[in-house]
Amino acid sequence: MLLVIDSGNTNVVFALHDGNEWRGQWRISANDSRTADEYAVWFYGLLGQVGLSTAEVERAIIGTVVPAALYDLRRFCRKWLKVEPLVAHSRLDWGIDVLVDNPDELGADRRLNGLAAKHFFGGPAVVVDFGTATTFDVINAQGQYCGGAIAPGVNLSSEALHRAAARLPRMSIGRPIAVIGRNTSIAMRSGLFWGYVGLVEGIVRRIADEMDDRPQVIATGGLAPLFSEGTDLFDVMAPDLTLDGLRLLADRNVSADCTNSSGRA
């Protein structure tokens, strides 16, 4: 089986694919100081709960936007799984043209979303990924990655509002019952939710205006289901898009010399 590790700013996702389907996905909060041994204790316990074993892991791939997390994730694979992980970096065979000024600065998550979107949906397409940041990744009609936009994630916006305004409470994200809030909490929830829906709709509309054909709009990321309740913008919900991108990249680079893989993501 292939172990896919998607390490982000908020969560790290471990997922196992047997060549036909995902056999399991597990999520842990991101922590740069977490050691390889701590990952092992957590992961071994979860595998045992579903009747799987690390002995079944034959390959691994890591995609990360947090360089500090890479050392212990690689060490975990080497020490506990006895495999050399492939690291998603720009010099691998991606199978997708990247039309940006500096491809090396493009985050692994954005390139992976573009790869998976091209493979499953073709182009033109816009991938909206609701993560720590909300990213917009554009694939043209020829299946080329064209760039996109990056906005602060809604949880970052909520935290910034709380910290900057002394009397405003920290607010969980949810769809309000009404747009007009009759108390501070509901007013904040309304502004965050509907304001963010407006941001996403507005950016996607402006991206579409710059394209020759109407793109498919694909939603992914943890908060995608919540925001899909407030708009008819999305054509496709693809919760595993980044993981599928890592799987596709691993399959394209089976013979890659992982020992010489770059530590940059």
Torsion sign across C-alpha atoms 63, 69, 73, 74: positive
**Distance between CA atoms of 147 and 98, rounded to whole angstroms?**
8
- Binding site listing for ATP: 6-13, 132
- Measured at the CA of 138, the angle between CA 63 and CA 148, to 5 degrees, comes to 80
Task: Quickly count: other Cβ atoms within 10 Å of residue 46's Cβ.
Answer: 15
**Distance between CA atoms of 183 and 33, rounded to whole angstroms?**
40
Catalytic residue among 72, 109, 137, 244: 109
| b/e 223-246 (16+ beta carbons within 10 angstroms → b) | bbeebbebbebbeeebebbbbbbb
The amino acid occupying position 264 is R
| b/e 57-93 (16+ beta carbons within 10 angstroms → b) | bebbbbbbbbeebbebbbbbbeebbebbbbbbbbebe
Q: Is the link from the previous residue into 124 a cis peptide, with omega within 30 of 0?
A: yes
**Distance between CA atoms of 19 and 21, rounded to whole angstroms?**
6
- Binding site listing for substrate: 107-110, 184
Give catalytic status of residue 32 as yes or no.
no
Residues recorded for the chain? 265
Q: Where are the beta strands (DSSP E) in 93-204?
A: 125-130, 133-139, 145-152
- Binding site listing for K(+): 129
The CA–CA distances, whole Å, from 216 to 42, 121, 184 equal: 38, 8, 37
Positions marked active-site: 109
